[in-house]
Structure formats: structure tokens, C-alpha cells
Chain A
Amino acid sequence: MWLTRPLQERSTQLFLGILFFALIVVTVLHLALPEGNPLHVSAYTVTLLGKYLCYALLAVAVDLVWGYLGILSLGHGAFFALGGYAMGMYLMRQIGDRGTYGDPILPDFMVFLNWQELPWYWYGFDMAWFAFAMVLLAPGALALVFGWLAFRSRVTGVYLSIITQALTFALMLAFFRNEMGFGGNNGLTDFRDILGFNLRTDATRLGLFIATGIALAIGYVVCRGIVTSKLGRVSVACRDAEARTRFLGYRVERVQLFVFVVSAMLAGVAGALYVPQVGIINPSEFSPIFSIEIVVWVALGGRATLYGAVIGAILVNYAKTVFTGVMPDAWLFALGALFVLVTVFLPQGIAGLLRKRRKSTDDGSGPSESSSTSEATA
């Protein structure tokens, strides 16, 4: 079974091992140790780590399409944000009559722009199951339509990258419009509770953090499952020699579509977990800059390795947290330099370095091993 196959892999086991170990350590240090103990992990840090994990999942999603399918999507932020908005709308409805205007149905921003009733597309978001379904379906549907159009007419490479950018840019403009009924520039905020748990308690935060960790684990396994399946090899084939793959009888556009949609859904999940932890979703998540930044996390970590994406995402964002605290104006220089150096001198990213070291130590390389090396070299 394709989903269980990864679990027998050494690399996947290692990854999951590290991930769960980290989750447990953080949880213990947070709960067991009292405030003020130097090793105590504060709620602040927990949320911060939770955020990093969301980004990691997002990066994995991007690596799936870029690393294995050769589609450089500069619009994945859009799927992330859509997932986030789906969750945001649910949280918004959960506020109920506790909003500043005490309107049981309408969110505050609708009240003071005196909307009379709820727009139709807000229906159903008061039900958790519906909202969570939307977290997957909204980005999935967008990816399906967009991808179907694009891949069917064989829009590839640079063109695809640029229209994905156009897509997210258009969405950003759209969501900025207050008429859209998504709160415009202010977005959705002031959330109260999720599934009945108060969002402003540390317990809930820890819960969200753990949930994110698990989501990342699942997402990783799903992606790994795809790339180690025959379909994964077909995607690599599409990436390297699209025409050839066609002549072998594979419907390249459908392969691309499938992987693209899966990736979009993962991004959506990441967004959905991101929103309750940072407490706001607003159109700036759609900004093309953000989408490009994601790609750089992946590039830094190392394309076509999945775990590289995770490393990249966490590293860059940790650096960001530190820098913006220490020397704000230096941050953009650092980020910019990172872009340049990685792409020019480190085309295989950190994962590439790791692998070099590993290869020099052991040479017993199974099929998956050697294939993954060569994928990255391609």
C-alpha cells in the first residue's frame, strides 16, 4: 500500500522519530517545568514553534510540486491563505454574540460597515466539519480549476510560474476589497475559541502545536508515499522529459494535476493551522513576495528531498525571528544574500551537503537512496 510504504523507509522513520521526539520534549518542558525555570518552554515559544511547523508543512507542499514535478509555483501562498481564511471564517462564526456589537450572526466588521445579512458564502462555516472540509476543498478546487486549464494547454516552466504569481496577486487584490466580505485589509481576527477550547489559554496553544506537528508528520508521509510510488517516478519523468513521458503513454497533465491539487490541499491545511496560532489572517498572506519566500525555504533546505524543505522553512524563519529582534534593517540584506548565495553556490541546498557527507561515509545505497540523489542533481 502506497501510504504505508514510506513507514518502512529509514529516512522517513528518522524524520518522524526526530519530529515526535521534539514534540514530546517541548510538551514536557512546557508542562512539567515551572515558569522561571531556565529550561521552561514558555507558551510564547510553543506558539512560535507551532508557526514554524506550519511553514514547514507549507514548504513540504511546495517541494512536492517543485522538487518532484518541476513546477515552480509562485502562488502557493494563495492556497495557504485560502485554507487560512476557511479556518478564520469558522473561528469568526465561533465568536457568536461575544463580538463588540454582540451580533449573534454577523462578524464585527460586517456590522460596522452595516451589512444587513450574512453573504451566502459564509453559510455553513459555523459548523466545524464543514469549515474543516473547506480547508481542503477551497484550495483544492482552486488548484483543480487553475491546474486543469494550465496543464491541459501545456503551460509550463517560466510561464506557469508567472501566471501562478498573477493568480495570487489577483486574489490579494480581491481580498483587499471590502465588498468581498472577508474583512478587507484588516482580515479576520479577535478569535475566541476553536472546537470549544479557549484560544487564549496555553493549553489550547499546546494542543494546536501538537496538532500541527501531527499534521506535518501526516503530510510528510503522504508526500513521501507519493514520491516513492510509481507515480512519484512518473512525476520525476514529467519533470525531466515531459515529451518522452507522453510517448510512454502517461497523461502528463493528469499526473501534474493530481500532484498539484494534493500539494495545494496540504498548503491549505498548513494555513488553517497557522491562523488560530498567530490569531489573524489578512490578504497580505496572498502577496507574491511571501510565495517566493516559501520557494527559497525549499531551495535552501534542498529541493526534491521533502525533509530539506522542513529544515529550510524552520531555519529561515528562526533566523527571521532572531534578526528582526537584533538588527531589523539587516534582515532584508541577510534574506537577500541568502537567496543569491543558495541559488548560486548551493543548488542542492543543505540536504545536498548532508547527503554528500553521508555518501562519503557509507556507500551501501538502495534504489530509493540513489534515485533521490540523482533527482536532486537533475
Chain B
Amino acid sequence: MSIPRWLTFFLMVLLMTTAGTVSAQQQDQTPEALLEQLADASPRDTEAAIKAIATSGHERARAWLEAYGNNRISQVEATGRIVIVLNNRGRDWEVADALTGENLGEMSRRDLDRIAINNAVRRQLAGVLAMLDLFAKDVAVREAAALDLLGKVDDAIVEEVTARIEEEPDAGVRNRLEEALAIYQVEEQGSLDAIEVLSGSLHPRARAALNSAVASEDPARKAAAEQALASIQQKLRLNNAAETLYFGLSLGSVLVLAAIGLAITFGVMGVINMAHGELIMLGAYTTWGMQQLLPGQPGLALILSIPAGFLVAALAGIAIERSVIQFLKGRPLETLLATFGVSLILQQLVRTVISPLNRTVVTPEWMSGSLVINDALSLTLNRMYVIGFALLVFTALMLIMRRTRLGLEVRAVTQNRAMARSMGIKATRVDIMTFALGSGVAGLAGVALSQLTNVGPNLGQNYIIDSFMVVVFGGVGNLWGTLVAGLTLGTINQLLEPWAGAVLAKIIVLVFIILFIQKRPKGLFPQKGRAAEG
């Protein structure tokens, strides 16, 4: 996939035209012809076709290439007319004329032939588009483009890139370009000083280049590359440690979120709520519902579904408390069975009412992607939000338990029901409130999880056991315990995973908990005193 020299000139021209300056360029092909060429191209000539379009300077050229990249260019079987597909869901697709851009309304899929593209072509396309972007006004775009060029530089555009390095005002972009150039030089020309340039880079592509250099016969190169790699490895080790820690934290915070609601219903009320997982599920489905209500703005929907999810789960919780649990006071093991029944019902309800299939929950822009610390260490945003969210929920709960009237009453009731009653606390009301709170928090967990995993009928089951483990490990009736336990287990799990593998890691953690409970039957932070001895 080499783009010959002359292209670079045209790219410059194209830039000017797109930048709006008038250009004196020869129209050697009509737009129709260009598109025809693309449409009829065999895999071998698609390349040429793309070039032709890129260099045609037609004002829609870019739109065409992008549409092509997204599989959106089709040809009407009957007329052979080239169209851009605007909406390709369902059996009838909304299309617009590629040349004029006029909307042609809906057309049956049957009558359209998609103009195929594959990853190889897409990569060329990316290169071409990146080159175009290198001239954009917005620094961010240029930076992205430069990053995109890493490993995509070839004989065709090398001069262009070199030229850009001189003209590029922004230092960051310049470094990127130099890196890109260096990778090219290392791989294609085996230059030594380029290796120097790369020795600082943590980008996987740079390492790739160096690795290839290590493989070379020339001892000098080999040595230089090895040295460079060594220095990179040094940095990497640090980054990996940080990364693993982050993974641990994020898994931990998921566990905390899932378990914290349980810590309240189970820890504080002594109710073993097997339907906890399904309450989480409800929270997740609320998020989905919200996104259905507000199509097009997933972000807003997600934020709204935080209160909504809490509410839905809390109401469900109240329903459960009133209909089942209140009849089982002081029979914890029976609550386990009854609530398990409830969980089965809730699951099947979702299956029949909504669908047995998983639901699509969209991740809003600002949550996808990752925060790039450096090329080797980037923290995924959605998980970062989840960590923050978990801590937020935790602090909120702490405050409620410590500072508010409800918290006081709850603690009173759990310490000594009769006494609390006689002091005029409405125990039943407190029960309802507590359970609602616990359930609501489960709902919040669901909202968060909808951003990490499937939203489906089985969502709850995957977390219920882990949640119990966390609560028991942390010590029943102790929110701090839950926090510490969750984070610890998460981290242990992530530390084990690399060498034990995912399954074994989980098993080891479970066994560890079992043994730990033998040593400290009341968990990390047991409740002391005669009251608890029972």
C-alpha cells in the first residue's frame, strides 16, 4: 500500500481546496467516473480508485471516503446510481445521492449493492485521511492524525511528513511526527539515530519497530535496539504495576458497589436477600429504559438513571419487604429461601416482559475511551467513573448511617429492637426504610454495571455470590469492612490473574475466604461485645 510521490502534491492541493482557497487543478475525471471506478474496482484496484478520489479535489471527496470507510456507499442495482446510505437499520434503508447529496428517501435492501471494503483498504484509507487531517486547524485533530500515522508512514508520504515536522507549530504533534518518522526509518532504512529517538517512546508501535531491529543481523543496530528496549522495559515495569493496581481497584470498586447494598440489608437488618442481584439487574434495566426514552443522548439518560435506578430498586425493595420479609422476622435462613424465590420470579419476569436477550446500553462519549497517562499506561474512563461512583455512594451511605436520624434509628433498632420500640421508634418503618435504602443502592450498582457488562436477565446471578463473600469477609454490619474487603478481594484477584489465570484466581480467592472465615468467623471487622456474642 504505497502512495506514490505525486500524491503528496495533490494532497497539498486538496488541502487548499478543502481549506476553501481556489485551486487551479485539472479535472481529469468526472466525479461519476471516480465513483464508478470505486464501485467496479476489484480488490486490487480499489487502492487506485481511492487515490483518484482523494486527489480529485471534489468537495465531496472526503465525505465519500468516510462513507466508504463506514460501509455506507452502495450502488442501486437497477440504475447503477451510487448512493450514500444514511440509515442502514431494518429492511429499508434511507439513502442520498452520492453526487448531489439529495435525499432519495428509503430503498429496499434488496435493490442496493454495497460497495465492499475490508480492513486492508480501511488501513490505507486511514493513512490517507490522516494525511488530510495533518493540515487541519485544530491541534487535537492534528495530534490524533499524527498518532494515527505511527507505523503508517511509508516511502510515499515520508517526505511529506518530514516537511510537516518543519512547519508543525505544536511541539506535541511534532514529537509524534518525529516518532512516526523514526519508526519508518528504523523499519525501512535501519538507521541508528532513529533508534535513539524511539528509546524514549512507550508506544507499542515503537517497541514493535525496535523488536524488528533487534532481529537484524547488523550487531550495532542490534545492540542499540536492545539497549533502547531495555530502557523502555524499565519504564514499562513501573507502568504495569500501576496498571495492575488500577485494575484491582476498579474490580474492587465493582465488588464494593454490588455488595454495599447487601451490607445494609444483610449486615444491618440480618436479612439474607438473595434477590439482591435482581435488584442490581433492575437498576441496569432502568438505565436501558432511560436510554430508550431519551434516544440520542445516552449521557443525560445515564445521569438521570442514577436517581431513577435508585428509585425503581428501592420501590421493588419495599415491595419485597412488605410482601415477604416482614413475615420472616428473626428467621434469617427462611428469608434466604423466600428471597431466592423472589429472585427467580424477577428474572423470569424480565425474560417474559422485556426479552430473554441482552439489552443494548450505550456508553456515552465522555465515558468511553481512556485517560492517557503515557503511551503504555492509560486508565479506562468508564472504570474510573465507576471507582469514583463507588466511593461517592460509600461516603453517602456512611453519612446517612452516622449523621442522619434514620441512621440513628436503624442502629438503635439493630442493637435492641424492643428497647428502640419502647423509645417510640417505629421499628417497622425503620425496617422498610433500611431495606429500601439497601435495595436502592443495589439499583445504583446496576446503573454502574450497565456500563461494564451485559444488561440481561442473568446479570444479577453473576454478582450475588461475590457480594455475599465481600460482606462476610468484611464483617457483617460494618460498612468499612465491606469497603476494605471489596477492594482487597478485587486487588488480590487481579494480582493473581496474570500467573494463575482468571478461573484459578477466582477459585483461590474463594478458598482463601473460606479459610479466612475459619480463622475469624466474624470477618475482618467483627462486632464486639456481649450483644454480638448471642
What is A's interface to B at a CB cutoff of 8 Å?
72, 74, 146, 149-150, 152-155, 157-159, 161-163, 165-167, 169-170, 173-174, 176-177, 288-289, 292, 295-296, 299, 329, 332-333, 335-340, 342-344, 347
Q: Is A332 in contact with B348, judged by CB distance below 8 angstroms?
A: yes
Q: Is B521 in contact with A72, judged by CB distance below 8 angstroms?
A: no
Q: Is B245 an interface residue (CB 8 A)?
A: no
Alpha-carbon separation in the docked complex, A170 to B504 (Å) = 9
Query: In the complex, what's the smallest C-beta–C-beta distance from A342 to chain B, in angstroms?
Result: 8
Alpha-carbon separation in the docked complex, A165 to B468 (Å) = 10
Q: Is B510 in contact with A333, judged by CB distance below 8 angstroms?
A: no
Q: Is B503 in contact with A329, judged by CB distance below 8 angstroms?
A: no
Alpha-carbon separation in the docked complex, A333 to B351 (Å) = 11
Query: In the complex, what's the smallest C-beta–C-beta distance from A367 to chain B, in angstroms?
Result: 27
Alpha-carbon separation in the docked complex, A335 to B345 (Å) = 8
Q: Is B517 in contact with A340, judged by CB distance below 8 angstroms?
A: no
> A162-B468, A344-B327 are known contacts; what are 17 more A-B pairs with Cβ within 8 Å?
A72-B333, A157-B332, A157-B333, A158-B272, A158-B476, A159-B472, A159-B521, A161-B272, A169-B510, A177-B504, A296-B340, A299-B337, A333-B345, A336-B348, A337-B341, A343-B338, A343-B341
Alpha-carbon separation in the docked complex, A183 to B511 (Å) = 22
Cβ-defined partner of A329 (8 Å) among B333, B341, B351, B472: B351
For B334, the closest partner residue in chain A by CB is: A343
Alpha-carbon separation in the docked complex, A226 to B142 (Å) = 81
B462-495 contacts to A, CB under 8 A, are 465, 468-469, 472, 476
In the assembled complex, 19 residue pairs joining A and B whose CB atoms fall closer than 8 Å, in A order, are: A146-B514, A155-B517, A155-B521, A158-B270, A162-B468, A162-B469, A166-B513, A173-B510, A177-B504, A292-B274, A292-B337, A296-B337, A296-B341, A333-B348, A336-B345, A340-B324, A343-B334, A344-B324, A344-B327
What is B's interface to A at a CB cutoff of 8 Å?
266, 270, 272, 274, 323-324, 327-328, 331-338, 340-345, 347-348, 351-352, 461, 465, 468-469, 472, 476, 503-504, 506-507, 510-511, 513-515, 517-519, 521
Contacts of A170 in B (CB 8 A): 506-507, 510-511, 514
Contacts of A149 in B (CB 8 A): 514-515, 518
For B346, the closest partner residue in chain A by CB is: A336
Alpha-carbon separation in the docked complex, A296 to B274 (Å) = 14
Alpha-carbon separation in the docked complex, A113 to B332 (Å) = 46
User: Given A149-B518, A155-B521, A176-B503, A339 and B510 touching (CB < 8 A)?
Assistant: no
Query: In the complex, what's the smallest C-beta–C-beta distance from B289 to chain A, in angstroms?
Result: 22
Alpha-carbon separation in the docked complex, A154 to B332 (Å) = 18
Contacts of A177 in B (CB 8 A): 503-504
Query: In the complex, what's the smallest C-beta–C-beta distance from B316 to chain A, in angstroms?
Result: 14
Query: In the complex, what's the smallest C-beta–C-beta distance from B305 to chain A, in angstroms?
Result: 26
Contacts of A158 in B (CB 8 A): 266, 270, 272, 332-333, 336, 476
Alpha-carbon separation in the docked complex, A344 to B335 (Å) = 9
Cβ-defined partner of B336 (8 Å) among A161, A163, A335, A337: A161
Alpha-carbon separation in the docked complex, A163 to B274 (Å) = 15
Alpha-carbon separation in the docked complex, A162 to B338 (Å) = 16
User: Given A153-B518, A177-B503, A337 and B472 touching (CB < 8 A)?
Assistant: no
Contacts of A74 in B (CB 8 A): 336
Q: Is B521 in contact with A153, judged by CB distance below 8 angstroms?
A: yes
Alpha-carbon separation in the docked complex, A154 to B347 (Å) = 35
For A150, the closest partner residue in chain B by CB is: B518
Q: Is B338 in contact with A340, judged by CB distance below 8 angstroms?
A: yes
Contacts of B514 in A (CB 8 A): 146, 149, 163, 166-167, 170
Query: In the complex, what's the smallest C-beta–C-beta distance from A164 to chain B, in angstroms?
Result: 9
Q: Is B347 in contact with A332, judged by CB distance below 8 angstroms?
A: yes
Alpha-carbon separation in the docked complex, A153 to B515 (Å) = 11
Q: Is A72 in contact with B341, judged by CB distance below 8 angstroms?
A: no
User: Given A296-B337, A299-B337, A339-B338, A288 and B503 touching (CB < 8 A)?
Assistant: no
For B510, the closest partner residue in chain A by CB is: A170
Contacts of B336 in A (CB 8 A): 72, 74, 158, 161, 292
Q: Is B507 in contact with A338, judged by CB distance below 8 angstroms?
A: no
For A170, the closest partner residue in chain B by CB is: B510
Q: Which 9 A-B pairs rank lowest in CB-CB distance, beginning with the nearest? A: A339-B341, A336-B344, A336-B345, A332-B348, A170-B510, A340-B341, A343-B338, A336-B341, A149-B518
For A338, the closest partner residue in chain B by CB is: B341
For A72, the closest partner residue in chain B by CB is: B333
User: Given A153-B518, A154-B521, A177-B503, A165 and B465 touching (CB < 8 A)?
Assistant: yes
Most buried by A among B266, B348, B513: B348
Contacts of B270 in A (CB 8 A): 158
